[in-house]
Structure 1
């Protein structure tokens, strides 16, 4: 064979190899949802590679999902607020529930999909609940003999300088709204201004602020906090108990804010069948139970460790009326300004 023809044939073969290679199932996920050993077991079972990209904030999740015009990922793990935005953009696939038999293992509150915001629309289901955390109250048993019953406990002057608060405007305004009996995610402008004053009072009552679960546990112990708004719920409970802290945990009578992360399939996915298999696999007890056993997160399965009482009232996160305004006000409150923006 002439050398030039040989080289042309080799080049054609090399160019064809990427097309012949099996593309991985690409997951966009949070830490703890697709641990390496769980991914390896799935790959072995279905003889198909899986690629996991982890995010640590909703902002990162949005940026990653939008890469390459949103066609890169097959599966996404997102909370109900994010899912509503994605569905409005027509970026999620309607799911055939009959291909997800392990869904029947879930607690009733997570099987009743019509009652959960951001899960379904127009008779179609677009996401399956997987992990959750309710934002309850963590208290030091050595300082408080009884569990706090109300969100108002965070404002209690008897606990001045011993209250630990999450550094986040959207959630803190929702928390203050629940205390006042207002809808936490849809507030008129006047109510935002009034609640900002309440949050100024909360700041004055607080010890300090935290951003992540590990930081909250360290501050709670080292600074001798008596009470904490647990933005990460059971994850913080596990961290503190693992560290030997004598703590209790309660859901206030006003209910608790809660995030619910769900698996959803990208409308542009070319591997829908495999993506459905991953969702169903994630709901097998040995897989789902790692959420609580390893990471202190809530599993949606029946009989899962640290499952909430059926009567516990949860306010699943939804898009808020003006996230930018909430953040602007909170930054002013956090910095200690007396006069707030817009006044």
Structure 2
């Protein structure tokens, strides 16, 4: 999910294979502790394909995507067992798929950049949309699969959008009466010492590229990269601090009365701040906002294609997709998000060029190096 995960930095490679009723043991598990009770009833409408009682569907997913009650209802309907392996980083996802598990994984959830990577490695099977009728329930922007980089190749579909989060601006309504409309507000001198920024080279360079009006925030020339580095050096004047985890951001925002924040965790972060008593608003700037989009895909190694397709279709049932909003504070692909307008300009994250250059410059930025040292 990207959140994942989304989604934002997912660096610590960890995974745990669990039965459906095992506890979550990841750095993102705090979200699961906030889950609301839900009864997933057996009256959902899909027709189950005939399956042998000993059939096992192996699912690779992020916490919150395949919760025990959801899995149990699927097992009862399709007369199969589901084994869920949880990951909390893109690296863990990649490692699991390359570990040579026997039997192999059948379905997985990954962001669009990773989906593109797996498709190029011939690790995913094309999907038969006729077997995933719930795609017709999705919002138009998510039915237009060819318009989203990474989901199609050679005229075939390899992944179906499931959940997403934008990385917009979060602001204190008490200090900012009128919602900001531009990412450049982060540099406004009136917010000196009141801005929070996410500690990530990739996303900072990309969102600053949007603020500067560069057409492709993921493919930057050397001159553009240096200009952005200097822009991010300038942002230090307004910073309260950098944050990594959403809990840190919430604590800083509430206790130090921050005014404005680059919301790397988007609507999830907004929900957490509101639970902490903060009077905050959320906007997608006019320049657009970075966003991650996690999708379901079927592996090329699966021996259970009908069941794998049934799983993807099941994940798009309204009762199941609604859990992303109720439990995780995420958006789903069936209903418009009240915080992320359906017509908002979202820029789905893609692999960036020259990662090492961004990382090197970011290290100098957060270390406080002087502008004249940036070559």
Find the partner of 1:234 among 246, 256, 267.
267
1:53 aligns with 2:85: yes
State the match for 2:209 in structure 1. 177
Structure 1 residue 269: Cα displacement: 1.4
Give unmatched runs, 5+ long, in structure 2. 1-51
Q: Per the alignment, do residues 131 and 229 of structure 1 end up closer, same or farther by CA in structure 2, a change over 3 Å counting?
A: same
Query: What does 1:180-329 align with in structure 2 at a 5 Å threshold?
Result: 180-182=212-214, 183-302=216-335, 304-306=336-338, 308-329=340-361
Structure 1 residue 41: Cα displacement: 1.1
Q: Per the alignment, do residues 203 and 68 of structure 1 end up closer, same or farther by CA in structure 2, a change over 3 Å counting?
A: farther
Residues 268-305 of structure 1: per-residue CA shift (max 9 Å, x gap): 11122111111000000110010011110011003x55
| Distance in 1 between residues matched to 2:172 and 2:259, nearest whole Å | 5
Q: Per the alignment, do residues 318 and 232 of structure 1 end up closer, same or farther by CA in structure 2, a change over 3 Å counting?
A: same
Secondary structure of 1:67's match? coil
| Distance in 2 between residues matched to 1:310 and 1:250, nearest whole Å | 12
State the match for 2:107 in structure 1. 75
| Distance in 2 between residues matched to 1:94 and 1:106, nearest whole Å | 19
| Distance in 2 between residues matched to 1:29 and 1:190, nearest whole Å | 39
CA RMSD of aligned residues (A): 2.0
| Distance in 2 between residues matched to 1:64 and 1:70, nearest whole Å | 11
Q: Per the alignment, do residues 271 and 215 of structure 1 end up closer, same or farther by CA in structure 2, a change over 3 Å counting?
A: farther
State the match for 1:17 in structure 2. none
| Distance in 1 between residues matched to 2:196 and 2:119, nearest whole Å | 36
Structure 1 residue 70: Cα displacement: 9.7
Secondary structure of 1:68's match? coil
| Distance in 1 between residues matched to 2:53 and 2:102, nearest whole Å | 22
Q: Per the alignment, do residues 297 and 70 of structure 1 end up closer, same or farther by CA in structure 2, a change over 3 Å counting?
A: farther
State the match for 1:117 in structure 2. 149
Kept in 2, the 8 Å contact 1:329–1:340? The answer is: no
State the match for 1:164 in structure 2. 196
Secondary structure of 2:253's match? helix
Structure 1 residue 181: Cα displacement: 0.7
Q: Per the alignment, do residues 101 and 202 of structure 1 end up closer, same or farther by CA in structure 2, a change over 3 Å counting?
A: same
Residues 103-130 of structure 1: per-residue CA shift (max 9 Å, x gap): 1111111011111111112210000000
Secondary structure of 1:289's match? helix
1:148 aligns with 2:148: no
Structure 1 residue 336: Cα displacement: 1.8
Q: Per the alignment, do residues 95 and 341 of structure 1 end up closer, same or farther by CA in structure 2, a change over 3 Å counting?
A: farther
| Distance in 1 between residues matched to 2:102 and 2:361, nearest whole Å | 32
Rg: which structure is higher? 1
> Bigger shift: 62-71 or 106-115?
62-71
Structure 1 residue 212: Cα displacement: 2.1
Q: TM-score, normalised by structure 2?
A: 0.82
Structure 1 residue 178: Cα displacement: 0.4
Secondary structure of 2:228's match? helix
Q: TM-score, normalised by structure 1?
A: 0.89
Q: Per the alignment, do residues 158 and 60 of structure 1 end up closer, same or farther by CA in structure 2, a change over 3 Å counting?
A: same
| Distance in 2 between residues matched to 1:54 and 1:341, nearest whole Å | 43
Structure 1 residue 307: Cα displacement: 6.3
1:35 aligns with 2:67: yes
